[in-house]
Amino acid sequence: MSKQEIELLQRALNRQVKARKQAEKILESKSKELYDTLHYLREDNNRLNELLKEKTSELEGVFFNIPDPYLVINLEGQVVKMNQAAKVFLGFDIDKEDFYAAQLVHHEYLMETLQSFQVLQEVGILKNFKTKINLKSGISRFVQVNANLIYDASGTPIAAQGVLRDVTNEEEISTILEEQKQALEDSQKRLEAVISNLQFGVLLEDEYRNIALTNNVFCNMFGIQATPEQMVGANCENAAEESKTYFKDPEEFVARINNILKERKLVLADELKTVSGTTLQRDFIPIFNGTIYKGHLWVYTDVTIRKQYKDNLQAQKEKYSSIIANMNLGLVEVDNEDLVQLVNKSFCTLSGYTEKELYGKKLGELLHVSDPKIILEHQKKRLQGISDTYEVNVQVKGGQKKHWLISGAPRYNEKGQVIGSIGIHLDITDQYELSKQKEQLLRDLKSSNEGLQEYAHVVSHDLKSPLRSISALASWLEEDFTDKLGPEGLSQLALMQDKIASMDQLITGILRYSSIGSEKARFEICNTLELINHLKTTMYWPEQIDLSFKGVMPLIMADKIQLQQLFQNLLSNAIAHIDKSKGQIEIGYKDKGALHEFSIKDNGIGIPKAYQEKIFEIFETLDTGKGNSGIGLSIIKKIVQLHGGSIWVKSEYGAGATFYFTIRKDAS
Gap between the Cα atoms of 574 and 606, Å rounded: 10
What are residue 436's phi and psi, to 5 degrees?
A: -65, -40
The closest of 199, 192, 215, 194 to 301, measured between CA atoms, is: 199
* pLDDT tens per residue across span 601-613: 999 988 888 776 7
Question: What stretch of H or E contains 166?
Answer: strand 157-166
* pLDDT tens per residue across span 392-421: 899 988 888 899 899 989 988 878 889 889
Q: Provide the pLDDT for residue 123.
A: 86
Q: Provide the pLDDT for residue 482.
A: 75
Other C-beta atoms lying within 10 Å of the C-beta of residue 302: 17
* pLDDT tens per residue across span 579-633: 888 999 999 999 999 999 999 999 998 888 877 677 777 555 555 444 455 566 7
Q: Provide the pLDDT for residue 618.
A: 59
Q: Provide the pLDDT for residue 581.
A: 87
Q: Provide the pLDDT for residue 626.
A: 45
Other C-beta atoms lying within 10 Å of the C-beta of residue 524: 12
The closest of 667, 668, 648 to 659, measured between CA atoms, is: 648
Through-space distance between the first and last CA atoms of the chain, rounded to whole angstroms: 169
* pLDDT tens per residue across span 105-156: 988 888 998 888 888 888 889 898 989 999 988 899 999 999 998 888 788 8
Gap between the Cα atoms of 59 and 73, Å rounded: 17
Gap between the Cα atoms of 358 and 340, Å rounded: 6
Gap between the Cα atoms of 298 and 382, Å rounded: 41
Report the interhelical angle of 528-538 vs 560-576 (nearest 10°).
50
In 190-329, beta strands by DSSP E: 201-206, 211-214, 267-273, 279-289, 292-302
* pLDDT tens per residue across span 272-298: 898 888 899 999 999 998 889 999 999
Least confident of 69-73, 309-313, 644-648: 309-313
Report the interhelical angle of 632-642 vs 482-515 (nearest 10°).
20
* Mean pLDDT, residues 74-101: 88
Q: Would you say residue 61 has pLDDT above 60?
A: no
Band (pLDDT 50/70/90 cuts) for residue 263 is: very high
Q: Provide the pLDDT for residue 506.
A: 55
Q: Provide the pLDDT for residue 548.
A: 94
* Mean pLDDT, residues 527-549: 90
* Mean pLDDT, residues 520-548: 88
* Mean pLDDT, residues 191-216: 82
Judged by DSSP in three states, 654 sits in coil
Q: Provide the pLDDT for residue 64.
A: 59
DSSP 274: B
Q: Which residue has the higher pLDDT, 466 or 175?
A: 175
Band (pLDDT 50/70/90 cuts) for residue 643 is: confident
Gap between the Cα atoms of 130 and 238, Å rounded: 55
Q: Would you say residue 65 has pLDDT above 60?
A: yes
Q: Provide the pLDDT for residue 321.
A: 64
In 274-400, beta strands by DSSP E: 279-289, 292-302, 330-335, 340-343, 368-369, 388-395
Give me the sheet containing 140-151, strands edge to edge: 79-82, 70-74, 157-166, 140-151, 125-134
Gap between the Cα atoms of 515 and 450, Å rounded: 10
Gap between the Cα atoms of 355 and 340, Å rounded: 10
Percentage of the chain exceeding pLDDT 90: 16
Q: Provide the pLDDT for residue 508.
A: 61
Decide: residue 554, CB within 10 A, 0-12 exposed, 13-18 middle, 19+ buried: middle
Q: Which residue has the higher pLDDT, 488 or 267?
A: 267
Indicate the average pLDDT of the chain: 81
For the CA atoms of 116, 121, 127, 130, the dihedral, rounded to the nearest 10 degrees, stands at 20
On whether the CB atoms of residues 632 and 625 are closer than 8 A, the answer is no
Q: Provide the pLDDT for residue 624.
A: 44
Question: What stretch of H or E contains 600?
Answer: strand 595-602
Q: Provide the pLDDT for residue 58.
A: 46
* Category of 155 on φ-ψ map: left (φ > 0), alpha (ψ -120 to 50) or beta: left
Q: Would you say residue 380 has pLDDT above 90?
A: no
On whether the CB atoms of residues 407 and 391 are closer than 8 A, the answer is no
Q: Which residue has the higher pLDDT, 84 or 494?
A: 84
Q: Provide the pLDDT for residue 7.
A: 75
Give alpha helix (H) positions in 539-600. 560-576
Q: Provide the pLDDT for residue 513.
A: 54
Q: Would you say residue 320 has pLDDT above 80?
A: no
Question: What stretch of H or E contains 307?
Answer: helix 304-326
Q: Provide the pLDDT for residue 207.
A: 92
Q: Would you say residue 187 has pLDDT above 80?
A: no
On whether the CB atoms of residues 205 and 257 are closer than 8 A, the answer is no
Q: Provide the pLDDT for residue 345.
A: 84
Gap between the Cα atoms of 297 and 217, Å rounded: 15
Least confident of 21-35, 353-367, 500-514: 500-514
List Cα–Cα distances, 556 to 526, 531, 644, in angstroms.
5, 11, 13
On whether the CB atoms of residues 167 and 140 are closer than 8 A, the answer is no
Q: Would you say residue 367 has pLDDT above 80?
A: yes
pTM as predicted: 0.34
